């Protein structure tokens, strides 16, 4: 596992009305601080990669559909430099994945429906100076083959 990455199984509380799932609590060991909460989606077989942040930690889960989340440790001083981790997350496998600053990550929507990802980052998005760095999914800087579906918009 990449140094600093934490994976937590999430639990659904199900009854005849539906279900409830806590995504982040301030009393959990992996909690650092709160910045904001947002949702991002991807259509089936679309890859949204690569991106990373230098200041914030991301806390991702997939609440609808299914996604392959891939993370890459490109940090020069990390004991896990060059390591890649893959996680299948979604409605049937509710995981929260904590991604430290400076770790590249992206996801692909699996199956036939849109994947809906909730992120609870540790910092607010700064519209004037975004803490967001990007590489295309087929970059040579990360040795990972997303097997991109031709004709779809990836990135």
* pLDDT of amino acid 110: 98
Buried-exposed string 52-87: b where 16+ CB fall within 10 A, e elsewhere: bbeebbbbbbbbebbbbbbbbbbbeebeeeebebeb
Residue 148 DSSP code:
P
Q: What is the pLDDT along the chain (155 residues), one digit of tens a residue?
A: 999 999 999 999 999 999 999 999 999 999 999 999 999 999 999 999 999 999 999 999 999 999 999 999 999 999 999 999 999 999 999 999 999 999 999 999 999 999 999 999 999 999 999 999 999 999 999 999 999 999 999 99
* pLDDT of amino acid 40: 98
d(CA 96, CA 133): 22
* pLDDT of amino acid 34: 95
| The pTM of the whole model exceeds 0.85 | yes
* pLDDT of amino acid 126: 97
Cβ 98 vs Cβ 6: under 8 Å: yes
In the CATH hierarchy, which fold is given to the domain comprising 7-134?
A: Jelly Rolls (2.60.120)
């Amino acid at each position: 596992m990449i140094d600093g990455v934490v994976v937590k199984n999430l639990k659904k509380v199900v009854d005849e009305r539906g279900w409830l799932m806590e995504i982040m609590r301030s009393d959990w060991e992996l909690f650092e601080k709160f910045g904001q909460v947002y949702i991002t989606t991807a259509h089936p077989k679309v890859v949204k990669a690569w991106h990373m942040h230098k200041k914030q930690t991301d806390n991702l889960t997939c609440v609808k559909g299914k996604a392959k989340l891939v993370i890459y440790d490109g940090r020069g001083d990390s004991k896990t430099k060059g390591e890649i981790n893959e996680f299948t997350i979604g409605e049937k496998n509710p995981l929260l994945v904590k991604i430290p600053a400076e770790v590249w990550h992206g996801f692909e929507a699996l199956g036939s429906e849109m994947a809906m990802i909730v992120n609870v980052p540790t910092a607010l998005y700064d519209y004037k100076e975004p803490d967001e760095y990007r590489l295309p999914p087929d970059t040579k800087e990360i040795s990972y083959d997303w097997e991109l579906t031709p004709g779809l918009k990836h990135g």
